Amino acid sequence: MSIESQNVTDYPNTNTIFMVWKLNDHPELKDTFRQLCALVLNLNNSVANRFPDSRASGVMGIGCEGWKKLELPTPMPKELVNFEEIKGGKHTAVSTPGDLHFHLRADNKSLIFDMAIEISRLLSPVAESILEISGFKYWDARSILGFVDGAENPHGEDRDYFAKIGEEDLQYKGGSYLFVQKYLHNMDAWKGLSTEEQEKVIGRSKENDIEMSDAVKPSNSHIALANIEGENGEELKIVRDNMPFGRPSSNEFGTYFIAYSSTFSTTKKMLTNMFVGDPVGNYDRILDFSTAMTGTLFFVPTRNMLDEFSG
């Protein structure tokens, strides 16, 4: 049987709902989870059949504690752990709980709205919703900070290579490590910078999304620290599907950072660069304007595994 992954490499689209749930100690928990796995498969098949051009999909991830509560197969995926905070001299990548994560996306918000309703209806008796965010495409895929987001994303076959587990963990081949953070932006401070100063923080031009040359790009710019290499100089990437969100009347503006990767160590290296600095102390300047409010690691099983779990 061929391995079929969940839709972790789909490209970002117009509307997204992110949900994080905490599982309760409930006698019907395992039975509900079996139904949930079947529901996720059903929802994806349904939207693919009924609305083939909608680019709609739902991806479910399972956290370390959730895996234990559900007594799923052991050994667990090699890098599935409870994320430990990464504390730098000034900023911290915080660690927050989460047993299940749902990433629902579509051009038509009605589709993911109905998907979220069905998932919530099933889970509510046995779990608590601890985070729900509705993201949207802002102009030409820009964050609310005004810069294009995800410019370094891999394309084509590279998306599979960097997002999905390969031969290094055969039991979980085709799965993916999912790391998420909710960032809030200090827009008053950000708008206090000139466009030129903002570009130095990011490392790219604001209007045309052109990366600065190494001779000009500050060493503490976001691009300089978020782009990482392996020990032998090989390129290391993650597949981002970040989405902006906001409530203007509450002056809340943010970005939901979401990364799929074949190894969590890649994402962790990037986070360490950003929060601790490379060298130490040379942290990512964007963190002076963007605060990480959450930080949770999940594992995304393949569709084959969801089918097995549903049995």
> Which residues are the active-site residues?
149
Show the CA angle centred on residue 174, arms to residues 169 and 175, nearest 5°: 80
Contact (Cβ atoms closer than 8 angstroms) between residue 10 and residue 105:
yes
Half-sphere exposure in the Cβ direction for 283 (13 Å, CA):
19
The token pair at 288 is 């002076």
The token pair at 171 is 């039991």
Contact (Cβ atoms closer than 8 angstroms) between residue 261 and residue 180:
no
**DSSP sequence for 39-87:** HHHHHHHHHHHH-TTS--EEEEEEEHHHHHHTT--SSPPTT--PPPPEE
> Is the bond leading into 75 cis (omega within 30 degrees of zero)?
yes
Contact (Cβ atoms closer than 8 angstroms) between residue 98 and residue 178:
no
